Structure 1
């Protein structure tokens, strides 16, 4: 075996150690392909992984414990930092759980706006996945192209809520603002152009022999293992399980929208890549239908529930009761109904759900986040065994984890 110390200049962020004829390789937690502060302890026999031990906790922030010491409204912006690539998805997951617990009826117009924001977040998240995954494998051009289209989406979100990364665009009981003038026209312009951009990405990658050699047959996950490890989202659908919460347990206006759930029986990295591409097409399809529904919806964007939701700014500025109720909600916080609830949603990475145990106080007694990346990271312990070292980066990229969800 070559002396590991001679390899150090080529692997600045990787540590080597010899152990009974096998090599122990510490991948991360500062490695750029780890997609965050992930450390993988890999035991190698030559170039093959014989044992993999994921280690997390390097950026632990105690998000769930913070929730128990904050009001529901105060905690909402913190959810932006869970999956910070699709922060509106986290905003909605918390709001939906609180609304379900408190029986808050969200107006139709707000539901349509929420659906638009969630699907824009989905495309933005998928584009970041595609860009970084391609770059990890060695395709630089796709990285630049994907970020070009992602900037257009971030511009749309910024015009709506003023933020590009951590949005806080959804509030308990509805949304803060209606869509600004001309916003839907820009959305339609994007939706009409984006399918050709997806075709460009596929033209660069799908039949590229190097791309296919690096992805096909790599990181194969069987249907049984995907289910037993608690996989969701594309990780589950690529292994032959046609399950999407938007179809199985519809929320918002998804039950009124015609879209398909792409899935594959191959279960490898290439299948996952193909599903992400098809999901972006389906999101465009959903956005186009939402635009039509929006034009035929009523004007209300906030629930009429004074006990839990502040009135509109106009009412607060003109009606004394609304001002008093707003003051109470801001200073004391929303006092949710007593009970417990779990509400699942289909985030860009899989099943994102919030469990809340409420004692009728302004803060949850217990809050638990069911984040998909946590399960997909645990899977490395089994999925990486038998793979080559060069394929470890490919598998991490195709599983599309983010450490903000894992180190909560």
Structure 2
């Protein structure tokens, strides 16, 4: 009894449970579900996230500064390494910005090839997203099915440019190659098969109760939150805001094509999943509409401007002046007019824009990239608060961020 009385004050000061009893954990940067070198510092109250701090910079590649020390053509293959799941979209956005700076007009056949490649690349990106997102949530079969169709699409891209991941399939002023023989027929077969497989994806997932439990009402992005964080792409349209640069600010030949811009008012992860499925269907429609336009166009592939664009290979091999011109452009580069330009395009992940400021030299004075994944990562600071720890993986995968274009 005397011992108990002596220990009573000691036990009174021990708190076995406190309301502010939180735990801080590191989520990444090596976590397999982090979709890149993302480090999240999470403050947890039990299993609930009460504070989240996304921390980036582990890749520290400095691509924008690299661009300012390269001639314009030299930097184009580096754009592949940003969003490496959608390399052609990066190639196009950069080339389009330089073309605006130079005032180049791209031949029609080149525009047709570009749009085919862009939309095929959009399908590849969405298939990769669905595969990895489903795997994060635990749907192993979907990973295998999506990667199977993705491989067929990559076969087509490889047939065109010789590469599967980092394409460099677009040039400033046009495209380097015409489509190979029977390429369009093979692409049409792939698209017809993809339509059937997308139906199978929906049968597997749309009403799957585990899939819906993991995605519905998880990662809710309100319309106001989407505007506050400059969200774009599927994440924006998933909040009920109908904004697609291909429609609102048409570029290339998109103003000649008929396609819908699907939106969802659910604002959650499930709604964004349904949008990605619908966007793949719309990309198929776009590619099929471009096929006849391709056949109707002439065979010119590059803009005819000797100040900025190399001659054809035939001219380089047969004409001395063309050979010298090509040598100068490759070794010294071209000098664009003094000025600045910003060009925004609709990449698979959202608004991808390039800002270029020229002082009349062969190197950009300033080059900045407006990458959608960067803004979507900032959104995590608010989006993760109040969710469960298991939902963090779902939300990161659902936002489809790629760190090559974040730590640029």
The ranges of structure 1 where at least 4 consecutive aligned residues each deviate by more than 2 angstroms after the TM superposition are: none
1:252 aligns with 2:263: no
- Indicate the residue corresponding to 1:397 in structure 2: 397
Aligned residues: 391
Per-residue displacement from partner, 1:20-44 (whole Å, max 9, x unpaired)? 6211110000001000100000001
In 1, Cα distance between the equivalents of 2:221 and 2:188?
37
Deviation at 1:19, TM superposition (A): 12
Provide the residue aligned with 2:268 in structure 1. Answer: 268
Cα distance 1:19–1:374, how it changes in 2: closer, same or farther (>3 A)? farther
**Aligned equivalents of 1:88 and 1:315: distance in 2?**
27
Q: 1:218 & 1:348 partners in 2: Cα distance?
A: 22
Q: Which residue of 2 aligns with 1:282?
A: 282
SS in 2 for 1:43: strand
Instruction: Name the CA distance, whole Å, in 2 between partners of 1:119 and 1:199.
Output: 19
Q: Offset at 1:193?
A: 1.2
1:318 Cα deviation (Å)? 1.5
Measure, in 1, the Cα distance between the counterparts of 2:262 and 2:123. 15
Match of 2:360 in 1: 360
Post-superposition Cα deviations, 1:63-85, rounded to whole Å, max 9, x if no partner, equal 00000000111100000001000
SS at match of 1:355: strand
Pairs within 5 Å for 1:139-288: 139-288=139-288
Offset, 1:292: 1.2
How do 1:1-20 and structure 2 match up within 5 A? Answer: none
Counterpart CA distance in 1 for 2:281 and 2:395 is 24
Partners in 1 of 2:219 and 2:349 — Cα distance? 17
**Cα distance in 2 between the residues matched to 1:227 and 1:311:** 45
Matching residue of 1:387? 387
Find the counterpart in structure 1 of residue 319 from structure 2: 319
Residue 181 of structure 2 aligns to a residue in which SS?
coil
Q: 2:12 corresponds to which residue? A: none
Q: Distance in 2 between matches of 1:374 and 1:334?
A: 31
> Which is greater in Rg?
2
How well do the aligned residues superpose, as a CA RMSD in angstroms?
1.1
Partner of 2:41: helix, strand, or coil?
strand
- For structure 1, the 5+ residue unaligned runs are 1-17
Per-residue deviation, 1:337: 1.5
Unaligned ranges ≥5, structure 2: 1-17
Give the Cα separation in 2 of the matches to 1:195 and 1:257.
19
Aligned match of 1:6: none
Offset at 1:278? 0.2
Match of 1:126 in 2: 126
Distance 1:253 1:32 in 2: 40
Shift of 1:192: 1.2
Shift of 1:320: 2.1
1:332, distance to aligned residue in structure 2 (A): 0.7
